[in-house]
Structure 1
Amino acid sequence: MHMMKKLLLALFLIFGSLSIQAQEIRWMSLEEALAKQKKNPKPIFMEVYTDWYSQCKMFETNTLQNPEVSDLINRNYYAVKFNAEGNSVVNYKGTSFNNPNFDPNRKGRNSAHQLTSFLKVEGYPSIYILNRNGEVQEKTTGFKTPEELLRFLR
């Protein structure tokens, strides 16, 4: 009887921890997503965020880590996370975009990346859905609850 209790407790702990853990979204660069689209066409989910804005942090923690949201994104989209004020070089639509005014020593807000301007980002966080040809199909701006984001993605 004592052994059975231990086994049940072990199983409960294993399966309980599995169901609690949210599946991480499989993030990639925009270039990687566009390359994958050529082999296996599906839309791109692109989160445009900043490091300093609390709404972006809340969206990451409360919405994107929701198991239903992360599962839907992983199954149906290539996921791209793009820092709107970062210093990466991004090749999109035959153009190389960067952030020539990026200041690595700056705390908080930085200059906008050229891709941010090209996409006409109006606020953070912004979600862009790029169709199977890499064209912007839809966008939404501002914090979304898991329910709101799921409605938008479906």
Structure 2
Amino acid sequence: MSGAVKIGKTLVLLVLLCSGLQLHAQAVQWTAFADLPDSLRRAPKPVLLFIHTDWCKYCALQDHNTFQNEQVSEKINGNFYALRLDAESRDALIFLNRNYEGAQDGYHELAEMLAKKDGQIIFPTTILLSEKLQLRERWCGFVSPAVLIPYLQGPPAAP
């Protein structure tokens, strides 16, 4: 077997191994805002809301380090409905039976309402809501897996 064929086979093997590892990594399954009311009616669960922008480096870091973490994604997917809100989205949406306008010259109305701290929006903002959409926790700024995981436990087992 020539050296080029060996190198080719080795590269193919490496690609297959790497793609297999990527498939094993579990990502958060994000829910659309429009689907949330029906989902909550069918199977009530708490809600995790991630408010971000495309330009925010800490948002990207949390998206990559926290939401790609296997423990975090497994717990969110099993115990929560996860929502993403791009604070600069121009799309109107309905949340808690109220219409929120998309960003025109600033930020989305819902992002303004939920992510403001001391009159300023902080990105990212991560919010945990109960299954009745009542505020449980809110973090303004980057949230690591170590901080988030204790809050992602499922409901206690029935006796």
TM-score by structure 1 length? Answer: 0.76
SS in 1 for 2:149: helix
Cα distance in structure 2, aligned partners of 1:76 and 1:97: 26
Structure 2 residue 36 is matched with structure 1 residue 33: yes
Maintained 8 Å contact 2:51/2:115? no
Q: Quote the offset at 1:82 in angstroms.
A: 0.8
Cα deviation code 1:55-109 (max 9, x no counterpart): 000111111101111001000001111111211211022221012515xxxxxxx
Q: Quote the offset at 1:19 in angstroms.
A: 8.3
Question: Structure 1 pair 55/100, CA: closer, same or farther in 2 (3 Å)?
Answer: closer
Cα distance in structure 2, aligned partners of 1:150 and 1:25: 13
Q: Which residue of 2 aligns with 1:140?
A: 139
- 1:56-135 → structure 2 map (5 Å cutoff): 56-99=59-102, 101-102=104-105, 111-122=106-117, 123-135=122-134
Cα distance in structure 1, aligned partners of 2:137 and 2:111: 15
Q: Please report the RMSD computed on the Cα atoms of aligned residues, expressed in angstroms.
A: 2.4
Cα deviation code 1:92-149 (max 9, x no counterpart): 22221012515xxxxxxxx110111222433111111121112322211111221112
Structure 1: 5+ residue stretches without partners: 1-9, 103-110
SS in 1 for 2:116: coil
